[in-house]
Amino acid sequence: MRFIKIIIFFLLLLFAVQTVAGKTVEELQKEIETYQQELARLSTQSKTLSNQIAQFDAQIRLTTLKISQTEEKIALLGGRIDQLETSLNALSNAFSSRAVETYKMAKVGDSFLLLISAPDLTGAVSRFHYLQKIQKADRDLLSRLQAAQITYQGEKTDQETLQKQLGEQKKTLDSQKVAKAYLLTATRNDEKKYQQLLAAARAEYAAIVAIIAGKGTEVESGHVNEGQKIASIIQGSSCNSGGTHIHFIVRKPGAITDNPFNHLSNVDYENCSGSSCGSSDGDPFNPAGSWAWPISPKIRFNQGYGYTWAVANTWVKNIYNFHNGIDINSLSSTEVKAVNGGTLYRGSYNVGCLLTYVRVDHDNSDLDTLYLHVNY
């Protein structure tokens, strides 16, 4: 009977913890859904500074709730794991002691002693049937013990997964707070300034899309070799650009962009594409090609290709959701160099101001590369 009581106790504890956990997590989930609905509502409203700040506030509150929910799950799971550990120890001890006793009885049952140790035949038959019941109960206990061990390992895995999730959520919260602070600093909490930033970003994006589509005004400037200087980086602000950098694009036939990291080689760099330079939330920097870089190292990496930190966390998501090149700057030189030999074109696109760029049509492939925000 002792092992049956242990199992019942183990099941009752597990059920009780799950009930409490479900109620607490459920309450948090309702709040999370409320803020998700609020974010969806805000995203359909006009693109004003106050609306953007409200979105940041809702995102920060939503992430904070998700962190609380994950921490609650971890705490409850930790308690359940402790109880499982206690129950497993109790079950293991019970099984060990039962196995010893069953072994002794089985040794008697397998010999003539079973008959001679009983006062009559009826007693011997009763002891035989009792032994069979004990062995069946022990097999059931072993099965429950094995199931409990599987559950325990599963809970431990879930705990590790939740810990990783918690770490990512905390990083997201930090990023959202930084993005809100950056917006307030850039706009000085001024609606007019915010609309100017949006207009400039919208114009720059439209120009870049047009240049990729081949709509820029270009003049052929002869052949250049790999590593040859083809332009220089504009220092400071330029046409709809707020700071020193080049927007580097790899273009395939059909005006389709490709990830520059598929072609560029490894290099010394500083990652400033996240919430701050050197932060762990920056865009992936994973060059896997053979090209030399268009600027001299050390490289300052400001934004990656595709779905970037800036797209996920800042107001630029109101303009685009996919970054079609990489934004980089050199900490040692203003020179821009061809990453491959080919025909050089100098170009510009008028979007109320002239966005200047150069393009190299590569000799040895159907690719070309574009280098924006440069002087030539």
Q: Where are the domains of the chain?
A: 2-187, 201-375
pLDDT at res. 36: 95
Whether the CA torsion 51, 57, 59, 65 is positive or negative: it is negative
H and E: helices and strands count for the chain: 6, 12
Q: Give the strand pairing for 354-362 and 269-271.
A: unpaired
Rounded Cα distance, 93 and 65, in Å: 42
pLDDT at 320: 95
CATH topology for 2-187 is Helix Hairpins (1.10.287)
DSSP track, 81-149? HHHHHHHHHHHHHHHHHHHHHHHHHHHHHTSTHHHHTSSSHHHHHHHHHHHHHHHHHHHHHHHHHHHHH
What is the DSSP code (8-state) at residue 235? P
List per-residue pLDDT tens for the chain, 376 residues long: 544 444 444 444 444 444 334 457 889 999 999 999 999 999 898 889 999 999 999 999 999 999 999 998 888 887 766 666 666 666 666 666 655 655 555 555 454 444 555 555 565 556 556 666 766 776 676 677 667 667 767 778 888 999 999 999 999 999 899 999 989 998 999 999 999 999 999 999 999 999 999 999 999 999 999 999 999 999 998 998 888 999 999 999 999 999 999 999 999 999 999 999 999 899 999 999 999 999 999 999 999 999 999 999 988 988 999 999 999 999 999 999 999 999 999 999 999 899 999 999 999 999 999 999 999 9
